[in-house]
Amino acid sequence: MKKFHLSVYLIMLMLSAGCISYFSERNAPLEFDKIYVAPIKNDSFAPQAQELLTKQIRKKLATHPGLEVVSSPENAGILEITIVDFGQSTATTSDNDTIRAKSFDVRMAVVCTLSNSETGKVYFTDFSIVEAVECHVLNNDFQASQYQAIPKLTSKLADRIYDFIYNLW
């Protein structure tokens, strides 16, 4: 019985050692210490989302230790983002009116490219990220509900873009 417990303990110890090295490698330093976020392009019908997403991704990247968000692409990583799709679809309808949406899903898709202006290395090109949020229609004001959903949606996109960049190494 003691051998069984010892075996289980050793197996758990080996597994945890593997997990520790996995997590320490995920936090490896980036290959650049400065990043330039190019003004985001909007090739969709997303209303004024590019300014909000630009601000949110810059703010999120500025939290990364050892990474400085700069206003010039020289000697820095360059992040280019284009909003390529924006749309909504009905999620639930009213009990007495199946045409009027009670809630709807708003989705946005972006493509991202990250390169290093110093070395010319391209880390990824046109990587697609799609996010969606659910909105509830308040007082039958569909447009106001959609307007309130945009900051949540761009925040989720900023988080996903940050996570993808940070987890490259």
Hey, where are the domains in the chain?
1-29, 31-166
- What span, in angstroms and rounded, lies between the C-alpha atoms of 43 and 26? 33
Would the pTM count as exceeding 0.75?
no
Residue 65, phi-psi category: left (phi > 0), alpha (psi -120 to 50), beta (remainder): beta
Looking at the domain 31-166, which fold is it? Double Stranded RNA Binding Domain (3.30.160)
Instruction: Using CB atoms within 10 Å of the CB of residue 146, give its burial: 0 to 12 exposed, 13 to 18 middle, 19+ buried.
Output: middle
Give the rounded distance of the alpha carbon of 125 from its chain centre: 15
pLDDT in tens, 95-144: 665 555 567 788 999 999 999 999 999 999 999 999 998 887 767 666 67
